[in-house]
Amino acid sequence: MSTGKYVVVLVGLLLVPWVMAQELKPKLGQPLEKLPQLAIGPSGQGLPLGSGSVEEGAIIYRNQCLACHGPTGRMPGNALAGGIGSLDGASPNKTVGSFWPFATTLFDYIYRAMPYGREKTLRDEEIYAVTAYVLFLNDIVSEKTTLSASSLPEITMPNREGFQSVYQIEAVDRALKIQ
């Protein structure tokens, strides 16, 4: 038997259990009509329409965020601002400004998890506004800034290059060990 025929037979044999398994699957998934919100990543894909300014964010922050995060976002334990340049020092201060690599994460997190105890009550414009204000507290944007789906992903965070993904390195290691 030529190698070609052998491969055809082998693939055929392999397909038999696969076809049988296909038939045995319950397949109970219902078509999704309303797609859930995408997680907002660095590309900004899924960001909603609308916009919000630092000025509007300051008012929302005072009413809904200040109690836990402090007047300038520097409440210890819940700090949002400060610490830029501290990461390689004796007491690193990990905040949005000093540590977070992407500004889009701020939108995603405020959207889903803030304000604590009243989660998902902010309107899209309010989320943009609070995001802008927290970036302003870190001197990353000016007080005149308005953020929207197009401008938010354009922001470069100070610690943008501060992370290395070790999962990919490890995946290679694991592959070598299997061989």
Instruction: List residues binding another protein (CB under 8 A).
Output: 24-32, 35-36, 38-43, 67-68, 77-78, 87-92, 94, 96, 99-102, 104-105, 108-109, 112-113, 116-117, 119-120, 162-168, 170-171, 174, 177
Residues 112, 104 contacting (CB under 8 angstroms) = no
CB of 90 to another protein, least distance (A): 6
Nearer to another protein, 4 or 89 (CB): 89
**Choice between 2 and 179, CB closer to another protein:** 179
The distance of closest approach from Cβ of residue 71 to another protein in the complex, given in angstroms and rounded to an integer, is 15
* DSSP element (H, E) containing 53: strand 51-53
Angle (CA) 115 119 122, round 5°: 75
Contact 173, 131 (CB under 8 A): no
Q: What are residue 122's phi and psi, to 5 degrees?
A: -75, 140
Least spacing, CB of residue 6 vs another protein, in Å? 27
